Chain A
């Protein structure tokens, strides 16, 4: 009789323990794994002669050589990007530098200039990891080959699903000197090995 009670109590105890362990396991695995990132390093604004082309943009400005975005700790040299054989925008082979699309106007000349950079590598953050943290009014600095600086202010931060990427809005003509910064964002599809969205930051030169 006593043996029966002991067995029953044991079964009860094992059951309760199993249920609790299951609940704990469920809770610990239910939230997405958050990757730890080093703290944001806010940079000082670069200095140099600020030259905005005043009129009619047909005047040539020098090629861009580096990009500084103090608000999100970006300071990178700029490589040149073209198009891939399939006609898509070439992206930097290194995730730690950004690149200027040479088919777009030079930053500071009339029109929509385009700079792209990676959000991350396989292991860690890329040069544009915090791009979507930019807020309207934040400043973006482009240093050019002749040492002059073009200064832009953020006017909009947008995220688009990649299958609905607005190529006309991003690459189409603009009447004033503008700069668009592009990186990835949204959900990462592990089966496609690709992010499903693009973040685009729109900026206009500060007159």
Chain B
């Protein structure tokens, strides 16, 4: 092997690690940037909504309430012996179509339901399926329950489920929420300033007073019911959030464990460039001298 060929081989061998080292360097830089952008998306989305069931028909006896996922004949939830004025807690369910069926308490699950209704549950939304009206005209109504409040306020709506007093007026904290709410109707949500104050329901010379706390960031449904004697009001907390929404994001880190971004590659690239240039100059000169000598001989 001639000296020239030996030199060439040395250059090749020296260049090899350059190539090999260069690849992982670029790859690792690429992975770092991919990881940071990919992190913006979450691990999973919550594609669920909420449903609750209520019996608000005064002269209808106890019922069994069934919840079916659409197209599935086995019930997802069964509530037994639900009486007037009772409601279930919210059930978290995957978004989709459902049907709710009411049967007389104790009736076979296979028997024809007295009433049924279909509900489309959208992700992130909550619904109340309420049996409303007198027994002779019982219906299942799907109510959209709100899950947000205006900043610093509470939301309240009223369900009038008193058969004894067909029309009632409702006021809270001196503010008239509804002056003539008819039996089996539902008022829209109203925004009120937070306070713990007296709610007054009156109709036909009867009235009921209860103290209701309406905190900022909470959503309430007040149900007017026939009591054993006179009117009764039940306060359902539909949803609750922070009384004051913090501004912006949370500053929960100081960076001690953060990966440091790689430093600039430029100085190293300059060293490599200079080295290669030097090697090339040396190699050329060497080849020239070798060629001159072999000619000279």
Contact = CB atoms under 8 A, between A and B. Distances in A.
Interface string B98-113: 0000000000000000
A58 B7 CA distance: 86
A104 B242 contact: yes
A45 interface: no
B255 A188 contact: yes
Interface in A25-47: 25-27, 29-35, 37
Determine which residue in A117, A167, A174 has the highest number of CB atoms from chain B within 10 A of its CB, and name it.
A174
Contacts of A26: 21-22, 25, 265, 268-269, 272
A134 to B, nearest CB: 9
Contacts of B148: 168, 172-173
Interface stretch (B59-67, B134-142, B174-182, B277-285): B277-285
B248 A187 contact: no
A165 B124 CA distance: 18
A58 B36 contact: no
A21 to B, nearest CB: 7
Interface in B168-226: 213, 217-219
Q: How large is the interface on A (under 10, 10 to 19, 20 to 34, 35 or more residues)?
A: 35 or more
Contacts, number: 324
Interface of A, secondary structure class, is mixed
A167 B246 contact: yes
Interface in A112-150: 112, 114, 116-126, 128-129, 135-136
Given A8-B289, A56-B89, A112 B25 contact: no
A112 B240 contact: yes
B38 to A, nearest CB: 10
Contacts of A4: 285, 289
B28 A175 contact: no
B84 interface: no
Given A167-B246, A195-B253, A198-B250, A30 B265 contact: yes
